[in-house]
Amino acid sequence: MASDNIQLDKNGHLKHFLSTEGLSRNLLFDILDHAESFAGVGDRAVKKVPILRGKTIVNLFFEPSTRTRTTFELAAKRLSADVLNLNIAQSATSKGESLQDTLQTLEAMHCDMFVVRHASSGAAHFIASQVSPRIRIINAGDGNHAHPTQAMLDMFTIRRHKPDFTKLKVAIVGDILHSRVARSEIHALTTLGVNEVRVIAPLTLLPSKVESLGVHVFHDMEKGLENVDVIIMLRLQRERMRNALLPSEKEFFVSHGLTEEKLKAAKDDAIVMHPGPINRGVEIDTQVADGERSVILQQVSHGIAIRMAVMAMCMGSPDELSAVES
C-alpha cells in the first residue's frame, strides 16, 4: 500500500527512521518485536548476525554524543555492516563545503545508510529528501525536534517491565520545551495506547499548547507523580538557567528533582528512567538513580537492540529478519 510518509516505502515498510510521529501502532510494535529477537546477540560467543554484511553505514554526527554514536556503531557491527564515523569538526563541512556536497561525496563512495545527528530541527528529514533513493537515513537526534531511537529503546525498556501499555500512566518530568526525547516519547506512548501521559515541569520549560499532544500537564511534582507506573526524567541543559528560564540548579532540584520522598507518590512498583547523561543532584538524586526502581543502565543496553532492529528493518529483507527470529 502506498504512503505519503517519507519514512515508508511503497509497501508500507520502514525505509527511513526519522520520527515516531506518523508511524502506526503496528509498525512500532514490529520495531519492539524485532529488537526482542536481537536482544540476545550480545550474549553470544560471536556477537554478530549477517543481515547487513557488505553494507556501509556512516555515523554522520554534527553534534557530539558519545553514548548514542557508540551504540549505533555497536549495533551496525553486530549486524556485520562496515562502519564509518565521520568527524564533522575535521571534515570538509568545517572548511566551507555544503552539506549537499558532503552527502554527494558519501553517496559516490557507495555508502548505504547515514545515521544523522544535527543541531537543526528537521535536518534528518531534509537529508532524507535529498539523498539517492537507495540511501537510508536514521535520525539520531535533530535540534529540539525528535530522537526516535531513544524513544523506542525507552518503549522497549517499559515493555520489559510493564507489558500492557494500555494500563499504564507515564510521567515525563523536566525540560519538556527543549527536549527532542520528550516529543518522540509522547508520540510513541500515545500511539502504543498508553492510558495516560503526563508532563511535569515549571511553566517556563513547557511548550505552548503542549496539551494538543494529548498529555495532561502538571507543575507540582507530587501531584503529577501520583499513582504513575513509569517516570521518565529528562536531562536539564545548564544553558537554560543561564538564559533565565530557571533561577538555579538548586531550586530546580527542590521543585522538580526526583528524590526518594517524591517517588513515594508513584506506585510501589513504578520504574524510573533517564535518557542520560544524568546530572545527579539536579534532575535526580543519586539514591534514586542507583536504586532498585531505576532501569537507567538497562536503557543503555536496550539501545543496541533497538538500533539493530531499526537498521535491519530499513535495509534487511523480511526473510533475513525472520531467520534471526526463528
CA–CA separation, 322 vs 123, rounded Å? 33
The CA-based dihedral angle spanning residues 10, 113, 62, 124, taken in that order and rounded to the nearest 10 degrees? 0
- Sketch out the chain's domains with CATH numbers: 25-145+301-325 (3.40.50.1370), 148-297 (3.40.50.1370)
> pLDDT digit string (tens) for 255-282?
999 999 999 999 999 999 999 889 999 9
Of these ranges, 36-50, 79-93, 181-195, 234-248, the one predicted with the greatest mean pLDDT is 181-195
Average pLDDT, the chain: 90
CA–CA separation, 40 vs 43, rounded Å? 5
Produce one character per residue of 38-68: b if its CB has 16 or more CB atoms within 10 Å, e if not.
bbebeeeeeeebebbeebbbbbbbbbebeeb
Q: Answer yes or no: are the C-beta atoms of 165 and 196 closer than 8 Å.
A: no
CA–CA separation, 216 vs 310, rounded Å? 30
> pLDDT digit string (tens) for 131-155?
999 999 999 999 889 999 999 999 9
Does pTM surpass 0.85? yes
Confidence band, pLDDT 50/70/90 cuts, at residue 102: confident
Produce one character per residue of 125-153: b if its CB has 16 or more CB atoms within 10 Å, e if not.
bbbbeebeeebbbbbbbbbbbbbbbbbbb
CA–CA separation, 189 vs 132, rounded Å? 32
Which pLDDT belongs to residue 318?
Answer: 59
| DSSP structural state of residue 64 | -
CA–CA separation, 249 vs 112, rounded Å? 43
Q: State the number of CA atoms in the 13 A half-sphere of 62 facing the CB.
A: 21
Q: Answer yes or no: are the C-beta atoms of 149 and 138 closer than 8 Å.
A: yes
Which pLDDT belongs to residue 96?
Answer: 55
189: its cell numbers: 506512548
Q: Picking from 23-27, 60-64, 175-179, 231-235, which range would have the lowest pLDDT averaged per residue?
A: 60-64
Confidence band, pLDDT 50/70/90 cuts, at residue 67: confident
Q: State the number of CA atoms in the 13 A half-sphere of 224 facing the CB.
A: 27
**Single-letter amino acid, residue 48:** K
Mean pLDDT, residues 272-296 taken together: 95
